[in-house]
Amino acid sequence: DRKLTEYALSLPLKTLTPGLKRKGLLRALARKYLPRETVDRPKMGFALPLGEWFRNDFGDMRTLLTDQLGSADPFGGLPVDREQVQILINEHLSGKMNHEHRLFALLTLSLWVQEAKG
């Protein structure tokens, strides 16, 4: 809304950033409706549950992982030990170990190689 934007831009900096804190106005407003510990908590990261997605085939992720890394030449001739890759997959899918980050990196590498080779 144009009027709201013009009004917000007309406010003094002190009003927009109380205490010179980022998102100060938003936090001040949020404190009226949310618990203080929610408003003032530190930033939190957002992690994707890749490990679960690979195990449970959410969005066909396990299928993509096993088909892509099990293909004839998933790494385009790069020196990657395919037996070790298969061990990582088996350990992860069985729940014995959590290799989600390694497997995601290998999957990404394989997809990149495939795309780069056309």
Domain that holds residue 83: 50-117
Q: Are residues 29 and 59 in the same domain?
A: no
Q: Are residues 110 and 62 in the same domain?
A: yes
Q: Is 50 helix (H, G, I), strand (E, B) or coil?
A: helix
Q: What is the percent of the chain where pLDDT is above 90?
A: 69
CA atoms 67, 70, 76, 79: torsion sign: positive
Q: Are residues 35 and 56 in the same domain?
A: no
Per residue in 44-60, pLDDT (tens digit) is 888 999 999 999 999 99
How far apart CA 76 and CA 52 sit, in angstroms, is: 28
Per residue in 92-111, pLDDT (tens digit) is 999 999 999 999 999 999 99
Task: Give me the number of domains the chain comprises.
Answer: 2
Q: Are residues 23 and 57 in the same domain?
A: no
Q: Are residues 100 and 70 in the same domain?
A: yes
Domain contains 44: no
Looking at residue 42, its pLDDT comes to: 87
pLDDT for residue 33 is more than 90 = yes
Domain contains 34: yes
pLDDT for residue 66 is more than 80 = yes
pLDDT for residue 3 is more than 90 = yes
